[in-house]
Structures are given as structure tokens and as C-alpha cells.
Amino acid sequence: MRCSLIATNPTDFEVHLFHEGSLYKSYKMFGAHIVRNEGVVGTRFSVWAPHARAVRLVGSFNNWNGKDHPLTKINDQGVWTIFIPENLEGHLYKYEIFTENEQVLLKADPYAFYSELRPRTASIVYSLDGYHWNDKAWQRKKRRKPAYDQPLFIYEVHLGSWKKKEDGSFYSYQEMAEELIPYVVQNGFTHIELLPLIEHPLDRSWGYQGTGYYSATSRYGTPHDFMFFIDQCHQAGIGVILDWVPGHFCKDAHGLYMFDGAPTYEYVNIQDRENPVWGTANFDLGKPEVRSFLISNALFWMEYFHIDGFRVDAVANMLYWPNSHVLHKNPYAVEFLQKLNEAVFSYDPSLLMIAEDSTDWPKVTAPTYEGGLGFNYKWNMGWMNDILTYMEAAPEHRKYLHHKVTFSLLYAYSENFILPFSHDEVVHGKKSLLNKMPGEYEQKFAQLRLLYGYLATHPGKKLLFMGGEFGQFDEWKDLDQLDWMLFDFEMHRKMSVYVKDLIKFYKRHKPLYELDHSPEGFEWIDVHNAEQSIFSFVRKSNKENDILVVVCNFTGTAYHDYKVGVPLLATYKEAFNSDASLYGGCGYINKKPMTALEEPFHGKPYHIEMTIPPFGISVLRPMKKRGERSVDGEEKMRRHVVGRRTR
């Protein structure tokens, strides 16, 4: 344990910045800190309670009797503090708040770094110092290679239900490092996105209704254990994204709600404050102290836990005033989000700031100096809803929903998009992705492979919720682990192989990610074949003639000698086919190279003839002449061996 060399009281400058809304490391001022001052080691507690008549500190160190530990109010705006000349690390504590209407409240510390395991609710004095990080190589790499032109395939995980022990208990953060990280690496995902891990009282809220924004939930271990998990991810080449909820919070009695007997963190106006859909309270995003609290929280996870990004939950709920039949824009939220993004990118320009926004708000991913909100990514909810509506339709009816596939390309470059198949789509009676697919058993798997193939080849970065990679048949059961016994069944094992190979193929081919955010990276070949529900298009990289031709067949009919227009006069090789028997398909593949004919078709100067698999996706690439081959994979090895022989 190390002691911070800080004053026994917050400084006037810190207090000024906090009330101004610009103290972006307010976690160093508030909460419980082990400090050394003038040779005395002690513990300083500070809290903001602007409406309180008095505040006392109670805990395991004073028998939960605060009469000898009153906090001193150091300004008229409600900052209270106390210094106890004793190292109280490991002790439980709460604030005993005496309100203006004669109530006495027991509140957990909003800035506590560690909390009791639910259902207990006390805060714990905890020092975050002392962890030795080993992720310098990862930090250098992510700063050297921004995400925009790199592959990004995110695995969304709920730690409490990914895998459980035989007795039903949770794996710890450290045990998850041993179980989850190798699995993610084997599957080829680039990042893990964790459902919220701030302290929360109810398991079934999945962390979206929090009480301890600075406490990594104690369900899985200590904050240092969580640091270890992230460090191990980074050493394995995996980024970590936190699902984060700055819009609303839990109303449990020990939490932020009516913290000092009056609206403190929430809006004063009940219509703006209450969120009846989720049973939560909305943060007052116009209040400077709340902005200091929330923006500091993002920087806190970055500084102490080396988080690589945030998926910001329910942005629409912030952008528009709640409980209104008309969409009224909330200017406080707009300004907050802009200041948030400016602050985090000043700290780490490589950060991923991802908006979960279901609206058509413009410039979500545009810089703030251009009038944008300042995120660098947004979930493409429109694409997700459209393609799932299309896939859930009977194949013979898809021709009437042709626009559900084509529409996304009309706006694909208006924002930097991530294409999400998230937990929200496989819970609450919506069925799993596999079970959304119509038809018989094998047809469901074929269409899911097709859907994943289309996900991988459509412009935009990718996200898949846990269980989707092996075809979880039931929807997500948040109290149970994933159905790992499905690996006993051949089709699920083959689905797992398919997803691994698909992600590997995606990561190896620059046309699938390098120009994700530029219209130069995509070109339709045939967008009009609604009758057969066949779509074909070209993906391109920055390098001239480095292309892939993608053909998707959304019906169960196979076609032979099918003409497809191509942009280059070349011989094409099938590089990927979802219908391969290895993946559980029927084996309608193109074994032989296909030489382009000098005859225009589909508006292209040349065409090839190929086999189109049923419910399948086929990806073709032009074969390079010997002198044009890239020096990777087998070719690189061949040259290395030849070079050794000739030296």
C-alpha cells in the first residue's frame, strides 16, 4: 500500500473546478484516500452533499456510530470532508446524512473504489495503487494503429453468464483471465466488450442500473483482480471495452438517488428525473458537479484500469428529454457528450467511444469542432433491425423486403458505424440469432452462416454477443451459463469452426476493413435481383486492384453457371464459401478458378460464371500473377526457404 502525498483537505482550486464542471479527476478529491501529511498516515473522506444539514462518517472502525466523526463543510456548495489520522484500508464505511426535513440517510460513497458484495451495500476503503502493469507493447500498438483502417471484431460478454462453476457460482476476474481470454484469442476476436461492471445491487440489471460508478463490481473479485484481467487481455492482444451508463442510475436507497434528501445527481423536475421504463433516475447533465462526476468516471477507468473504449449506453435517452410525446432536444446532454469526448480523447486519442444511439441524430461521430457529438463510432441499429427483419422472413417473401438489405448503403458512410448483433437482440423473447432463422434445422444453420458472412463483408466494424459464435439455440439466459453442451453436436461444432475461419478471413483481407468509412471501399455489382434475392458487390482496399467480389444468395436455391459482373479482367479464385461441407453446408463450392470473359454484365466490363450456393455467401478474389504475389503466408515462407538455399 502506498500513501498519496496530498492535503488533508481538498484544495480551493479543486473545489472551484468541481463546481465549474471541469474537475475531470474528481476521484482524486472525493472518496476515501490513504494519505500521508506531515508524517502522519491517515484516511481522508470527502463527499458532495449540498442539501445536507450535517454529515457523519460511520463504519466498522467506529461501531457504525458517527458521533465522533462529523464531516466539516468546507464551502457553501456542499463539499464535506474529514481526516482521520489512521490507516483505515479494508474498513467498511458509509455516510450518515442528516437532511433538511429531519431524515437520516445511510449512503454508500459515490466515489468508493470498492464495495461490499451484494446484498450488502457498504463502501470499502481501498487503495488502487500497487498494481504493476505489463501492457506497454499493447499501448504502443494501439496508438500506432488507429481503429479506422484496422480490423475490429468485438465479442460482447456478460461475465456472470458466459461460464459458471459446477456449483453455479461465478468465476473470478482472475479465473476469467484463464478461461475467457484464450477462448477469445482462439476465435480471433480483436476486442472484448463487457456489459457494465460498475457496482450494482441486482444481478438481473446486468450492470445497467448502477450504484457504485467507481467500484468494479465485487461479484468477481477486487479492483486489482480486474486490473489483472485487463492486463492479461492486453498481453494477449485483446482490447477491452466497457459498457458504460452515464444517462441514468439505480434508485436503491444506499445509492445516488436523492443522495442528501433532495435531487442531487438527478434532475429536480420530476418529469425529467424519472425514467419509468427502467425504474431509474436520469442524471442532471446540466449540473456542473454531475459533469465533473461523470467525465471523471470515464477518465478514472482509463487511468487506473487501462480501458480501451466505452460503449455509451442509451444515448437517445440523453439527447432527448424523457417522458415527452414530442422529441425535444436536451441541450445539456449535447454539451455534456461533447465535453466528455473532448476530455477522453485528450487523454487517449486511440480510445474507442461508441454511441449506442437508435436515433437519426446527425454527426454523432463527427468532431466537436465541426458541430458533432465527438464519438468516433456509433452502433448501426438501423442496419441491424433491417437485416434481422429480412432474415426472419420466409425466404420466398424476402423479395418483397429487398430494400431492407439495400437501404443501409444509402447512409453507411454518414457515420463511423459498428454493426451490432448484441445481447439486446437475443433476450426477452426475441429468440437467439440461430432460432430467428426460418426453415428446417440445417437451413437455420446455413442462413446463420450467411448472415455472419454478410456481417463480415458489409462496410463497418463488427460486434457479436457471446454464444452466437457456436449457434446458441436458446435465447440468452442471464442466470445460467452459455449452453456449452452444444459442442457435443456436430452442427454447432461446425458453426464454431465457421466463425473462427470467417473472422480469420476478415482479418487477413484489407478490402473488408481498410476503407470501412469511405464510399470508395464499396461498389454494388447487382443490387436489383429481388426475384432471386441475390446480391453481389465489391469491397476494395487502398491498394489498386486489391478487391474482393462478394455474392450472397438469400434463398435455398442453388445456381450453376450463374453470371456475375466483375471489374477486372483476371482469373478469380473462390477464397471463402459458407456452404463448404467443413461448415455443415451442402458443398456447392467453386473448386476451379474462374476466368473473366470480355463481355459486359451487371454494368461491369467483364463477367465470370460460377456456382451460387443455397443460403450461402461466396467471396472471390482475383488471382495475382507470380510477380505480383504478396509476401505473406505460404509465399513468404517459400521465399524464405529458397533464400536460405541460395545463400
**579 contacts: CB under 8 Å, gap ≥ 6:** 446, 449, 585, 586, 587, 588, 589, 613, 614, 615, 616, 618
Domains of the chain: 12-124 (2.60.40.10), 150-512 (3.20.20.80), 548-647 (2.60.40.1180)
The helix/strand count (H/E) of the chain reads as 15, 29
pTM of the model as a whole: 0.94
Cα distances (Å, whole numbers) of residue 4 to 7, 29, 130, 455, 492: 9, 11, 12, 49, 53
The answer to whether residue 4 scores a pLDDT higher than 90 is no
Identify the band that residue 3 occupies on the pLDDT scale cut at 50, 70 and 90. low
Which pLDDT score, from 0 to 100, does residue 556 have?
97
Q: What is the mean pLDDT of residues 104-117?
A: 98
DSSP per-residue letters across 100-132: TTS-EEEE--TT-S-BPPTT---EE----TT--
The alpha carbon torsion through 289, 295, 301, 304 (nearest 10 deg) reads -70
Identify the band that residue 191 occupies on the pLDDT scale cut at 50, 70 and 90. very high
Of 49, 50, 64, 4, the residue nearest 28 (C-alpha): 4
Cα–Cα distance between 45 and 189 in angstroms, integer? 42
Asked if residue 224 lies in contact with residue 114, where contact means CB atoms within 8 angstroms, the answer is no
> Which cell numbers in the block locate residue 457?
463483408
Mean pLDDT for the chain? 94
Per-residue model confidence as pLDDT tens digits over 465-518: 999 999 999 999 999 999 999 999 999 999 999 999 999 999 999 999 999 999
Q: What is the CA radius of gyration of the chain?
A: 27
Asked if residue 343 lies in contact with residue 335, where contact means CB atoms within 8 angstroms, the answer is no
Backbone torsions φ then ψ of 390, nearest 5 degrees: -65, -45
Which pLDDT score, from 0 to 100, does residue 626 have?
56
Which pLDDT score, from 0 to 100, does residue 113 have?
98
Which pLDDT score, from 0 to 100, does residue 325 have?
76
Of 510, 531, 535, 526, the residue nearest 616 (C-alpha): 535
Q: Length of the chain in residues, anyone?
A: 647
Question: Catalytic: 313?
Answer: yes
Strands (E), 436-526: 461-465, 522-526
Asked if residue 440 lies in contact with residue 434, where contact means CB atoms within 8 angstroms, the answer is no
Of 462, 465, 425, 452, the residue nearest 195 (C-alpha): 465
DSSP per-residue letters across 300-333: HHHHHH---EEEETTHHHHHB-SS-SS--B-HHH
Cα–Cα distance between 11 and 74 in angstroms, integer? 10
Q: What is the mean pLDDT of residues 242-257?
A: 98
> Which cell numbers in the block locate residue 270?
420530476
Question: Catalytic: 356?
Answer: yes
Q: What is the mean pLDDT of residues 528-552?
A: 97
The answer to whether residue 624 scores a pLDDT higher than 70 is yes
CA angle 285, 287, 291 (to 5 degrees): 65
Q: What is the mean pLDDT of residues 388-403?
A: 98
Which pLDDT score, from 0 to 100, does residue 2 have?
54
Helix (H, G, I), strand (E, B) or coil at 602: coil
Identify the band that residue 635 occupies on the pLDDT scale cut at 50, 70 and 90. very low
Omega prior to 119 cis, within 30 of 0? yes
Helix (H, G, I), strand (E, B) or coil at 578: coil
> Which cell numbers in the block locate residue 323?
417522458
Which pLDDT score, from 0 to 100, does residue 643 have?
35
DSSP per-residue letters across 325-355: SS--B-HHHHHHHHHHHHHHHHH-TT-EEEE
Catalytic entry in 96, 116, 313, 475: 313
Asked if residue 10 lies in contact with residue 74, where contact means CB atoms within 8 angstroms, the answer is yes
Backbone torsions φ then ψ of 417, nearest 5 degrees: -105, 150
H or E element at residue 273: helix 270-273
Q: What is the mean pLDDT of residues 181-188?
A: 98
Which pLDDT score, from 0 to 100, does residue 634 have?
42
Per-residue model confidence as pLDDT tens digits over 554-582: 999 999 999 999 999 999 999 999 999 99
Backbone torsions φ then ψ of 56, nearest 5 degrees: -125, 155
Identify the band that residue 36 occupies on the pLDDT scale cut at 50, 70 and 90. confident
> Which cell numbers in the block locate residue 161?
453468464
DSSP secondary structure code for residue 597 in this structure: B
Backbone torsions φ then ψ of 450, nearest 5 degrees: -60, -45
Of 388, 294, 307, the residue nearest 353 (C-alpha): 307
Asked if residue 74 lies in contact with residue 81, where contact means CB atoms within 8 angstroms, the answer is yes
Asked if residue 519 lies in contact with residue 198, where contact means CB atoms within 8 angstroms, the answer is no
> Which cell numbers in the block locate residue 230?
485487463
Beta bridge partners of 606: 566
Single-letter amino acid, residue 21 = G
Cα distances (Å, whole numbers) of residue 455 to 53, 351, 438, 501, 527: 57, 24, 18, 14, 17
Identify the band that residue 6 occupies on the pLDDT scale cut at 50, 70 and 90. low
Cα–Cα distance between 48 and 222 in angstroms, integer? 25
Task: Say how many C-beta atoms besides its own lie within 10 A of residue 433's C-beta.
Answer: 25
Cα distances (Å, whole numbers) of residue 23 to 15, 169, 324, 335: 8, 40, 32, 16
Single-letter amino acid, residue 33 = H
Of residues 629 and 401, which shows the higher confidence score?
A: 401
The answer to whether residue 407 scores a pLDDT higher than 70 is yes
Cα–Cα distance between 495 and 511 in angstroms, integer? 24
The answer to whether residue 329 scores a pLDDT higher than 90 is yes
Identify the band that residue 638 occupies on the pLDDT scale cut at 50, 70 and 90. very low
Catalytic entry in 116, 225, 356, 574: 356
Cα–Cα distance between 176 and 398 in angstroms, integer? 42
> Which cell numbers in the block locate residue 543?
491498394
Which pLDDT score, from 0 to 100, does residue 631 have?
42
Per-residue model confidence as pLDDT tens digits over 262-274: 999 999 999 999 9
